[in-house]
């Protein structure tokens, strides 16, 4: 189930609020001794999070299906997608915040009210230990709670109607995403030549879908370390194509050129890779201002990327 993008819902006592974690959405399936982890685009994640596989296997229940978020935490305990992207290079812990229980044994709970699923989830995880953690939720004084989440450095909050069913695959208005900072996913449509001492590439050229059209959103050239530059370049090179698939390209001077324009220092790629990017705002021309790369989103399809 996905969350719609909207402002905070009305303060009528019918909603609960959770921290919006900055990580990988993961379904964790336990069936006897077997455990499977899956991303939201149906990629297996057992090899990525072996500690979580072991922890789910130890849960004192024969079978269950959990929904949650795998995160890397910084020294203040805040989730960071950039740390998760570079987890092999850091010692920051990876934890799994479980926030929903879809199956308990053979019982399908998806049509039960969310608040009931929450209570059942708490009982299933009563003996769970790190890296599994129960996602805390709040029901009183939403304005105060959201301010506290923001001041603590959270990326945002997810508000959920307490009576909501779990609508698999849908972006329902009964779950609402409230963002404190600007940032979202973008499709990588090309890259520029590196300059000075930088290797592999200079900046990633970004886009997003508007219906079936791929719209240019700007370039991002900060937020990369040497390992990220090398890794991303190795993924980009096999995807190269002669012409851009975005409909509009903007030169640094601000002049627009038609589809098919090819700058001398630009290389175009098939729109298959997705980047997580933070930025300060959109310009009037629809270009990202002060973007910073956070990591590749292996858990999201390029065709699902729209302007939020």
Is the CB of residue 159 less than 8 Å from the CB of residue 175? yes
Kindly state whether residues 175 and 65 are assigned to the same domain.
Answer: yes
Task: State the CATH number of the domain containing residue 289.
Answer: 2.40.50.140
| Nearest Cα to Cα of residue 182 among 291, 262, 104 | 291
Which of 120, 148, 179 is the last residue before a domain boundary?
179
Kindly state whether residues 214 and 273 are assigned to the same domain.
Answer: yes
How far is Cα 239 from Cα 274, in angstroms, rounded to an integer? 13
Alpha helices in 142-240 (DSSP H): 142-151, 226-236
Q: Say whether pTM exceeds 0.75.
A: yes
Kindly state whether residues 168 and 227 are assigned to the same domain.
Answer: no
pLDDT of residue 10: 80
pLDDT per position in the chain (308 positions), as tens?
Answer: 999 887 778 889 999 999 999 899 999 999 999 999 999 889 999 999 999 999 999 999 999 999 999 999 988 888 888 888 777 677 788 999 999 999 999 999 999 999 999 999 999 999 898 999 999 999 989 999 999 999 998 889 999 999 999 999 888 899 999 988 888 999 999 999 998 889 999 999 999 999 999 999 999 999 999 999 999 999 999 999 998 898 866 555 554 454 444 566 789 999 999 999 999 899 888 899 999 999 999 888 999 999 98
| Nearest Cα to Cα of residue 7 among 239, 223, 15 | 15
| Nearest Cα to Cα of residue 145 among 303, 7, 18, 293 | 18
Kindly state whether residues 124 and 145 are assigned to the same domain.
Answer: yes
pLDDT of residue 191: 95
Q: Where in the sequence is the domain holding 103, given as residue range(s)?
A: 2-179
Task: State the CATH number of the domain containing residue 102.
Answer: 3.30.470.30
pLDDT of residue 259: 47
pLDDT of residue 172: 83
- Quote the number of domains for the chain: 2
Which of 112, 144, 179 is the last residue before a domain boundary?
179
Phi, psi of 173 (to 5 degrees): -75, 0
Kindly state whether residues 128 and 209 are assigned to the same domain.
Answer: no
Exactly one of 2, 20, 235, 237 is catalytic; name it. Answer: 20
Kindly state whether residues 165 and 48 are assigned to the same domain.
Answer: yes
- Which pair of structure tokens corresponds to residue 255? 């002049």
Which of 159, 179, 199 is the last residue before a domain boundary?
179
Concatenate the DSSP letters of all residues of 197-248 into one string: T--S-S-EEEEEEETTEEEEEEEE--S--HHHHHHHHHHHGGGEESS--SS-
Kindly state whether residues 31 and 151 are assigned to the same domain.
Answer: yes
Q: Does residue 20 carry a catalytic annotation?
A: yes
């Amino acid at each position: 189930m996905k969350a719609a993008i909207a402002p905070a819902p009305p303060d009528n006592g019918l909603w609960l609020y959770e921290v919006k974690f900055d990580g990988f959405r993961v379904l964790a399936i336990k069936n006897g001794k077997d455990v499977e982890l899956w991303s939201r685009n149906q990629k297996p994640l057992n090899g990525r999070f072996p500690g979580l596989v072991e922890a789910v296997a130890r849960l004192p229940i024969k079978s269950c299906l959990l929904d949650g978020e795998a995160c890397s935490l910084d020294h203040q305990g805040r989730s960071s997608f950039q740390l998760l992207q570079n987890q092999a290079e850091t010692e920051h812990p990876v934890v799994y915040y479980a926030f929903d229980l879809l199956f308990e044994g053979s019982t399908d709970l998806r049509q039960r009210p969310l608040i009931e699923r929450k209570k059942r989830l708490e009982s299933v995880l009563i003996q769970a230990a790190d890296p599994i953690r129960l996602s805390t939720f709040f029901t009183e004084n939403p304005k105060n709670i959201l301010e506290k989440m923001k001041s603590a450095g959270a990326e945002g909050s997810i508000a959920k109607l307490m009576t909501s069913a779990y609508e698999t695959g849908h972006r329902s208005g009964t779950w609402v995403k409230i963002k404190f900072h600007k940032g979202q996913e973008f499709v990588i449509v090309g890259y520029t030549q590196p300059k000075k001492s930088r290797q592999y590439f200079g900046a990633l050229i970004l886009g997003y879908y508007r219906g079936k059209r791929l719209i240019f959103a700007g370039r991002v050239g900060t937020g990369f370390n040497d390992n990220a530059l090398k890794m991303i370049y190795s993924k980009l090179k096999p995807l190269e194509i002669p012409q851009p698939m975005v409909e509009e390209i903007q030169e640094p001077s601000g002049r627009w050129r038609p589809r098919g324009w090819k700058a001398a220092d630009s290389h175009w790629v098939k729109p298959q890779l997705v980047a997580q990017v933070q930025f300060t705002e959109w310009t009037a021309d629809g270009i990202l201002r002060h973007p910073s790369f956070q990591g590749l989103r292996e858990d999201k399809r390029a065709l699902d990327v729209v302007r939020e």
